[in-house]
Each structure stands twice: as C-alpha cells, then as structure tokens.
Structure 1
C-alpha cells in the first residue's frame, strides 16, 4: 500500500524528476488532459472528485512518511489543480488552451496570491491539496475571461 500511495502522490513518480517537480507534475497533467479530458462536465467532476480524495489521502501519507509538511515530490495536488483549471473547458486536443492553462496555473501556483497561502495552513494532505485546487480555480476563471482570445 505504501508504494501505491507514493506512486499516486508523486504523480506516477513525475514528482521525483530532477528540479521543478511541481512543473513536471503539471506537465504530466497537461499531457493527460490534452489527450483524455472528457467533454462531459459530469465526468470531469467525477475525475476531479476522485483526484481530490486521492490527493488528500496520498499527500497526507507521504508527508508523514517523509516528515515534511509539503514534500516537493508530492505533485498529485498539481494534477488536481490542472484539472480544475480546465474544468468545463474543451481541453481535449486544444493545445493553445492546455498550454495557456499550464502556464497560468504554474504562475499562480508559484506566486501564491492571496487567499491561497491561507489554505496552506490546513493540516496534512488538506493543506497540500487545497492551495493548488484554489490556484486551479483561479486559473479557470482567468481562462474563462480570456475565452474570446482562445
């Protein structure tokens, strides 16, 4: 079970790639969303719900295992953030949208504008997950405002 939770938390081990693990996890998510993001909003919400639960549980486990509040190698939260960034949008096959979503999400995730830092205070996997989820929601709102340009 430990290996499975580590595999999930690290985004299929993409979080163990050298340098910028959060970006690697986000790139993995962007590739998966480009090829497989469903058109059905209900299916998207189902994927997000499953990813959210997996993120909270696996991130909490690995943070305790490694003795770190938010280990760099945990990137399932970035995957969730990217899913939320493209929620309700036609991302499959839309390179421009997915790339812009990736770029905006990484900028917001790294800069952490308010109120994102407040959510990092939540305990364990909740704090690890919710700040990236909020960055994804903010990215989604920006993408929707830019809708006519895409």
Structure 2
C-alpha cells in the first residue's frame, strides 16, 4: 500500500467498520485536541491548513479525476473536523483561555456531533460540493460541513451561555 493511500485512509481509521467517516472524525477530534493543547489555536490553524492541502493532493493522487468518494478515505473528515474545532479554539484563544479542550468539553463534543450531522445530512452547500465529485468535491463537502459545524457550535454556546447566565 502506497503512502498516499495510507494517508487517505487516515492511517487505517477508514478501514474500521461500521461508519468509517465517524471513526475518522473521532480520530481527528482526539488529535486536534492534542494539537490545540500543545500549540493552541495558532498551531491548530496551521495544522488544519496543512492537512487540507495534504488531503487535496493525496485525494488527487488516489482518485485522479474520478467522481467517487470511497467511504474508507477519511483524510477529508480530518480536515473538516479540524475546521469545526477551530471555531471554539479561536473563541477561547481570543479570550486568553488555555486548556479549553479539557475544561470546555461541550465545545468539542458539539463540534464533533455537528460535524457528523452536516457531513451525513449534506444540506445546501455541503451537498452541492459533494455532487461536484473529484478530489475537490470529496474534500470541499467536508470543509463546508466543518464551517457549518463550527458556526452551529458557536451558536449553541451563545444560546447556552445566554440561557444559563
């Protein structure tokens, strides 16, 4: 098995059944939280940009111009999940709070659950991107799901804190 395929498989997470996308997202969540804990929001931002580029180029190498999205390829879920995590990470970083990944578990749980919801449901721009096919379509539907999940996480946090305070 070549290195690009192994990367697309999320180093084997995509081979887990059932629901390889959920396993890939869960692995991404754990690694993303570790990156944030070690390097903060700036580190997670850089890691997200790098994994997005890596995802595009490895997907392009594996898929060519093909339109299918193999369920075992989960590198796109990693990019989308980290994008969703950037939203709460940025909010805590902006307020000078560290270790949010430990003390603010509803934030990362919400980012994970909302990401999976939008990645499976594929509303509006997520579905449109998914129908594009090819490496960019395979990746961009997860990036849109990450954006939607990040916004939904922040709205949920605002609602929860507004109601609870």
Interval containing the TM-score (normalised by the shorter chain)? 0.7 to 0.9
With structure 2 as the length reference, what TM-score do the two structures score? 0.79
Alpha-carbon distance between aligned partners in 1 of 2:113 and 2:63, rounded to the nearest angstrom: 26
1:92 alignment counterpart: 101
Asked whether 1:139 is paired with 2:138, we answer: no
Tell me the CA shift for residue 40 of structure 1. Answer: 4.0
Whether the 8 Å CA contact 1:29–1:79 is kept in 2: the answer is yes
Alpha-carbon distance between aligned partners in 2 of 1:31 and 1:12, rounded to the nearest angstrom: 14
Question: 3-state DSSP class of the match of 1:89?
Answer: helix
With structure 1 as the length reference, what TM-score do the two structures score? 0.86
Where do 5+ consecutive residues of structure 2 fail to align?
90-99
Where do 5+ consecutive residues of structure 1 fail to align?
none
Flag the structure with larger Rg. 2
Q: May I ask how many residue pairs the two structures share in their alignment?
A: 148
Asked whether 1:116 is paired with 2:134, we answer: no
Alpha-carbon distance between aligned partners in 2 of 1:18 and 1:123, rounded to the nearest angstrom: 24
Alpha-carbon distance between aligned partners in 2 of 1:3 and 1:52, rounded to the nearest angstrom: 19
